């Protein structure tokens, strides 16, 4: 079936190993949205994906005649389209702070994880990315002792960005020292056992913890 064929239901074109697609799947699971999740090999994308998405990127969301790309845009759309449970704070200041945290995660964690997940390039580059990601996560770990979720009393879109990254640490050979990151390990356990998180995992992601 062509991607541009009109659908009566929502569809997400997703990379089964990519943490950006994973965060969108988490939001969908948290909201309990009925959606067709279509796994796409990023190295063999269907030709007509480029027809609906000028960047030919994943994830891509189709909601009837609407096409959205870029994970964070999709997540905020879903949060507004399906308002319960809300995944961004109600008050403008807190919403802005949540968006800043997501931006910080993108710049400090996502960019380095992307390099490691591709796994290509000089070993010096990979080692540098691994060291920087590990040290950045360790440095911020004390904040997990302050509140039950990432800088929030309630589960939010920030957690949807953070949890998929933490899930992939073992897959990129990053081990966190338990003594100095106890609160973070507790957070990870809570996140990884969360019903919506388990529902969002693909087979490829489950294998990352083997």
Q: What DSSP designation does 173 have?
A: T
How many CA atoms does the CB half-sphere of 3 hold within 13 Å?
22
Hey, is 127 helix, strand or coil? helix
Architecture of domain 10-81: 3-Layer(aba) Sandwich (3.40)
DSSP bridge partners of 39: 14
| Lowest mean pLDDT segment, chosen from 47-51, 67-71, 105-109 | 47-51
What angle, rounded to 10 degrees, do the helices at 157-167 and 19-31 form? 130
Pinpoint the residues of the chain covered by CATH 1.20.1050.10: 92-209
The CATH number given to 92-209 is 1.20.1050.10
Pinpoint the residues of the chain covered by CATH 3.40.30.10: 10-81
Answer whether residue 4 shows pLDDT above 80: no
- Tell which residue, 208, 121, 103, 76, has the closest CA to residue 162: 103
Answer whether residue 5 shows pLDDT above 60: no
Q: What is the mean pLDDT of residues 33-48?
A: 92
Look up the pTM and report it: 0.94
pLDDT of residue 48: 81
Per-residue pLDDT band for 7 (boundaries 50, 70, 90) equals low
Answer whether residue 3 shows pLDDT above 60: no
Which of 77-82's residues contact partners 24+ apart within 8 Å by CB, and which partners?
Answer: 78/24, 78/27, 78/28, 78/31, 78/33, 79/27, 79/31, 79/157, 82/31, 82/33
When the pLDDT of each residue in the chain is averaged and rounded to a whole number, the result is 93
**DSSP-assigned letters across all residues of 10-40:** EEEEE-TT-HHHHHHHHHHHHHT--EEEEE-
pLDDT of residue 120: 77
Residue-wise pLDDT tens digits, 14-33: 999 999 999 999 999 999 99
Number of Cβ atoms within 10 Å of the Cβ of 149: 16
Hey, is 106 helix, strand or coil? helix
Helix, strand, coil % in the chain, rounded to nearest 5: 55, 10, 35
């Amino acid at each position: 079936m062509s991607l541009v064929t009109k659908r009566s239901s929502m569809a997400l074109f997703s990379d089964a190993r990519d943490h950006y697609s994973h965060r969108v799947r988490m939001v969908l699971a948290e909201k309990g949205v009925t959606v067709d999740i279509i796994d796409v090999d990023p190295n063999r994308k269907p030709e007509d994906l480029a027809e609906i998405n000028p960047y030919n990127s994943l994830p891509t969301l189709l909601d009837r005649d609407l096409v959205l790309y870029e994970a964070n845009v999709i997540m905020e759309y879903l949060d507004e389209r399906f308002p319960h449970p809300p995944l961004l704070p109600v008050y403008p200041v807190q919403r802005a702070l949540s968006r800043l945290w997501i931006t910080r995660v993108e710049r400090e964690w996502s960019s380095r994880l992307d390099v490691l997940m591709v796994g290509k390039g000089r070993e010096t580059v990979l080692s540098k990315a691994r060291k920087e990601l590990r040290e950045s996560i360790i440095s911020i770990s004390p904040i997990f002792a302050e509140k039950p979720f990432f800088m929030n009393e309630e589960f939010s879109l920030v957690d949807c960005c953070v949890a998929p990254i933490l899930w992939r640490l073992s897959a990129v050979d990053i081990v966190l020292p338990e003594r100095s990151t106890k609160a973070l390990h507790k957070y990870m356990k809570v996140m990884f056992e969360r019903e919506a998180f388990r529902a969002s995992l693909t087979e490829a992601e489950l294998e990352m913890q083997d």
